[in-house]
Chains A and B, each alone.
Chain A
Amino acid sequence: MADDIMLETEGLTKEFKGFIAVSDVHLGVRRGTIHAMIGPNGAGKTTCFNLLTKFLPPTRGRIRYRGRDITKADPTEVARLGMVRSFQISATFPRLSVLENVRIALQRRRGGSFDFWRPAKALRQYNAEALDLIDMVGLGDVAETTAGELPYGRKRALEIATTLALDPEMMLLDEPTAGMGHEDVGRISALIRRVATARTVLMVEHNIKVVADLSHRITVLASGRILAEGDYDQVSRHPKVIEAYMGTDHAA
């Protein structure tokens, strides 16, 4: 059983001045699954992500990734261990083109990034692979557009392509379909399903349809605590969850 757990936390807690954002969270993400984290605004989902990827230090608790304690690791190390995240606010390199955005990730994986004496032609070797990834997320028509000029939904798609370029064993996606049009949501959730066959995914998502379609397991957070956990049917019938979501269409 323990080998099955890709990412695990024990009593994970984050206190900001006079405010507990994440409180005593025990989380276990099983290898090869899509695990969703849902909850009302301010539930601590993004803080959790920041703790897991070490962008924030936890106040208490432990984090283990593939059996290895990463409680004291830094974010670069975490990424290099194969756990790569996306961000809620679209995280692209706005002045680089779509192709260059994806190439940056490919370049990191392959090395040679300190070579300041080599011409940019050396980056050409990544073009084919980068373009494949760009096509995969449906951005083929804008490969040479500057990322900052893309509409919001397409920036999210680019972010996923960039994350995928690192071929991570585990992906943490923070609201991957937020701000996307209907068509794009379908495309991205199909993409997540496809790429998740070989990886583990932990995602924060507000679109309940996406969560219901994709996740094997759902953790519901409210006020920094785990409210419920289980598959979609279990969670959606959970009285506390219904209470927390009162007034939203999900409660119906």
Chain B
Amino acid sequence: MTVEAASLSARHSGQVPGHHQITFVVMLALLTMAPYGFYPIFLMKVLCFALFATAFNLLIGFVGLLSFGHAAFFGFGSYLSAHAAKVWGLPPELAILSGVAVAAALGVVIGGLAIRRHGIYFAMVTLALAQMIYFFALQAPFTGGEDGIQAVPRGFLLGVIDLRNDLACYYFVLAVYLCGFLLVYRIIHSPFGEVLRAIRDNETRAISLGYRIKLYKLLAFTLSAAISGLAGATKALVFQLASLTDVHWTMSGEVILMTLLGGLGTVFGPTVGAATIVTLQNHLAALGSWVTVAQGGIFILCVLVFRRGLVGELGRLLGNRQF
């Protein structure tokens, strides 16, 4: 044997690379201290979108599937969790879980239909089905139509912790985000994730090796939808509101922008991208509809100048590492 199995790099022995561990610890430290320097509400918004983009990246970055309908999962997760908390009176943890469940179920249906197509057709099928969800949300009585579901109670976590306290709520959202982030990290570094990467790289070859690729795509799609639902469900409780904005197609576009800006197929990119976009939206809010123009500009800049995204380019500068 030329290469001894024992001397293989961390990547091939399946260990978590050192630079991921360090980055994660730094990120954790920053996020833990963040509410002492920033508004918790703003930070919670960042975390919800970071989780949403991380879930989205699981599909585009690691399976190569561009969904243009992820707002359906984010938005419907948020409606269901708002409804469960307000109308059914469920505690926050169960309200969020019901949002996750409905997003996963939607993921199975929409994913099951969309993965029969490739490329742009896949994106169009997801968009079309997500638009159906949007019009359902507009018409169905329980969503409150144009008004949305307002004054959603945050409730008491596990019956004890009062989430009306913004700081308590922040740490709860941070915990949700970390669970979602680590789950995605595990998925992309699992035997399943390895197959996803193979499908992304060369679908035909994966078929010729006997992989039933549709099942892999469907499972990945459903996991991504469920975690997007988790993000939406959490956001509804934080802002005590579920509205049409979250199911609208522009939300699907925004999550694409966040992921692209941060870096497709990177681990930390979607979080960085979401933080950047949410910060910009906050600072540019005074400009009104110019926010959209600014976002469009960022999008063009990304595509033209740094295609790997912020984190992707940074990783390249730091010796071709994948962050």
Contact = CB atoms under 8 A, between A and B. Distances in A.
A116 B192 contact: yes
A104 interface: yes
B210 to A, nearest CB: 3
B1 A84 contact: no
Contacts of B219: 114, 116
Contacts of B190: 115-120, 122
B210 A100 contact: no
A92 B202 contact: yes
A128 B205 contact: no
Interface residues of A, number: 48
Interface stretch (B12-20, B117-125, B172-180, B238-246): B12-20
Given A87-B204, A97-B11, A99-B12, A120 B191 contact: yes
Contact of B2 (A85, A92, A124, A135): A135
Nearest to A101: B198
A66 to B, nearest CB: 16
Interface in A60-97: 75-76, 79-80, 84-85, 87, 91-97
Contacts of A112: 191
B208 interface: yes
B289 interface: no
A146 to B, nearest CB: 10
A132 interface: yes
Contacts of B209: 79, 84, 104-105, 108, 162, 166
Contacts of A87: 204-205, 208
Given A140-B1, A143-B3, A166 B210 contact: yes
B78 to A, nearest CB: 25
Q: How large is the interface on B (under 10, 10 to 19, 20 to 34, 35 or more residues)?
A: 35 or more
A115 B191 contact: yes
A135 B193 CA distance: 26
Contacts of B204: 55, 87, 91
A122 B14 contact: yes
B31 interface: no
Contact of B195 (A55, A113, A141): A113
A144 B8 contact: yes
Interface in A108-164: 108, 112-124, 127-128, 131-132, 134-135, 140-141, 143-144, 162
Contacts of A105: 209
Contacts of B189: 119-120
A100 B3 CA distance: 14
Contacts of A55: 204, 207-208
A53 interface: yes
Interface of A: 53, 55, 75-76, 79-80, 84-85, 87, 91-97, 99-100, 103-105, 107-108, 112-124, 127-128, 131-132, 134-135, 140-141, 143-144, 162, 166
13 contacts: A53-B208, A75-B207, A80-B210, A87-B208, A97-B11, A104-B194, A113-B211, A120-B190, A123-B194, A124-B12, A141-B2, A162-B205, A166-B209
Which 10 A-B residue pairs are closest in the complex by CB-CB distance?
A: A140-B2, A79-B210, A121-B14, A120-B14, A116-B192, A93-B201, A91-B205, A120-B189, A80-B210, A127-B5
Interface of B: 1-3, 5, 8-9, 11-15, 186-187, 189-195, 197-198, 200-202, 204-213, 215-216, 219, 223
